[in-house]
Amino acid sequence: MASHVFGRGPAPLPVAARGEGCYIFDDAGRAYLDGSGGAAVSCLGHSDPDVRAAMHAQLDRIAFAHTGFFTSEPAEELAALLCAHAPEGIGKVYLLSGGSEAVEAAIKLARQYFLETGQPDRHRLIARRQSYHGNTLGALAAGGNAWRREKYAPLLVETHHIAPCFEYHFRGDDESAFDYGQRVANELDAEIERLGPETVMAFIAEPVVGATAGAVPAVEGYFRRIREICDRHGVLLILDEVMCGMGRTGTLFACEQDGIAPDIVTIAKGLGAGYAPIGAMLCSDTIHAAIASGSGSFQHGHTYHGHPLAAAAGRAVLGAILDRGLLDQVQTRGQTLSAALDARFGQHPPVGDIRGRGLFRGLELVEDRTTKQSFDPARRLHAKIKAAAMDEGLICYPAGGTVDGRNGDHVLLAPPFIISEDEIGMLVDRLARAVDTALAA
């Protein structure tokens, strides 16, 4: 049957017919172990009974009421619960339909904050070359992925990019990890000075870089230095936790492990856990108060923001993460996954680096372990791994693309928090076979 869905590419895809726990079944009944939650989405696995029940109950009451007229119980409950567990100072939640929308809202809120506080020249954004913040124009402008941006460059808002914090590739041989982190964080200071602090509104970064790099956390001390630099120049710090937030790294917000609190933080994927399209932009009471006592409201909005059914899903997901002890489980299963990856790939020459936090792990493939030279991009190794993994009955999230000429093919793993020890073993076995098949092709 011809497909009329505007898909991602020419190749026909299997039809996802059913989901259960860590598996997706196609319409022929074949099971795929969901080793990446799609793209770090399905944190509770598929068909979770509590989320389904909460959504059914909400649907039986009311699915939609426009936020111009009403708030709703699930939206209020979700926002309150998020704030109760959010980093210090964060006190308001703006519910949206996904990650890009959350980032767009964050950028616009930063701009409006400076307009309301009498600093109209602050309009510039600084981001990192190794980053993905979404595909809408504002979020795309923030992202550092050259090939995604180049076609749309004339349409993008002014963003300046600095180096990422990527120890595996860029720490000097004679430099400690800490010193390296301070050195690259100081690039933010230099960039703000170069642009003129009075023109810079915000710096945006992912605490653990996901799609562009394969689970790369910053080194110890990096984000504390970033926080100091932002504070010194009056620049807002936006953390994009769309992929790494909602418990994925073992704490509800990834930045807890870096010991800092942002002014604005975005979340999405794990918030709806795949049950509903939902994202959120959380901001500090200070930002909210400035707007409340200024023009009175954030000049933003989407028809579906604050959607009650989506909020009911998010409320149930967050409840499950907190009440079932899943944050601890992410830490212990994350250690199991990390140990299994080390055991299987630690001595495997084409695997140069194994990294990440919690159940957010990445493998990087290199042609030469000593020079860390990546494979020729023309080989499209990541695409071959993805296809071979699907043949093995494994969903993983490989990607390619370089940052400053480094970091080629990598594989991102982000399994559901409910993955068992046996399933972790199965994931690593299937991945190992897929990597070898792809390398032999």
Q: What are the residues binding ligand PMP (CB under 6 A)?
A: 39, 98-100, 103, 132-134, 206, 210-211, 240, 242-243, 268
How far apart are CB 98 and ligand PMP at their closest, in Å?
3
Nearer Cβ to ligand PMP, position 136 or 420?
Answer: 136
Phi, psi (rounded to 5 degrees) for 128: -115, 155
Residue 112 has a CB neighbour count (10 Å cut-off) of 20
How far apart are CB 78 and ligand PMP at their closest, in Å?
17
How far is Cα 397 from Cα 410, in angstroms, rounded to an integer? 8
Structure tokens at 392: 């093995």
Picking from 110, 105, 107, the residue whose alpha carbon sits closest to that of residue 95 is 105
Q: How far apart are the first and last CA of the chain?
A: 30
Nearer Cβ to ligand PMP, position 107 or 428?
Answer: 107
- H or E stretch including 193? helix 177-195
Nearer Cβ to ligand PMP, position 48 or 104?
Answer: 104
How far apart are CB 266 and ligand PMP at their closest, in Å?
7
Nearer Cβ to ligand PMP, position 134 or 308?
Answer: 134
Nearer Cβ to ligand PMP, position 7 or 325?
Answer: 7
Nearer Cβ to ligand PMP, position 134 or 350?
Answer: 134
How far apart are CB 264 and ligand PMP at their closest, in Å?
13
Residue 194 has a CB neighbour count (10 Å cut-off) of 10
- Alpha-helix runs per DSSP H in 240-284: 269-272
How far is Cα 171 from Cα 224, in angstroms, rounded to an integer? 18
How far apart are CB 370 and ligand PMP at their closest, in Å?
31
How far is Cα 268 from Cα 135, in angstroms, rounded to an integer? 14
How far apart are CB 268 and ligand PMP at their closest, in Å?
5
How far apart are CB 39 and ligand PMP at their closest, in Å?
5
Nearer Cβ to ligand PMP, position 265 or 434?
Answer: 265
How far apart are CB 171 and ligand PMP at their closest, in Å?
23
- 3-state secondary structure string across 140-158: HHHCCCHHHHHCCHHHCCC
DSSP string, 340-402: HHHHHHTT-TTEEEEEEETTEEEEEE-SBTTTTBPPPGGG-HHHHHHHHHHHHTEE-EEE---
Question: Do 181 and 217 contact (CB within 8 A), yes or no?
Answer: no
How far apart are CB 148 and ligand PMP at their closest, in Å?
11
How far is Cα 96 from Cα 91, in angstroms, rounded to an integer? 16
Nearer Cβ to ligand PMP, position 274 or 308?
Answer: 274
Picking from 201, 267, 200, the residue whose alpha carbon sits closest to that of residue 239 is 267
Residue nearest to ligand PMP (CB): 99
Nearer Cβ to ligand PMP, position 243 or 403?
Answer: 243
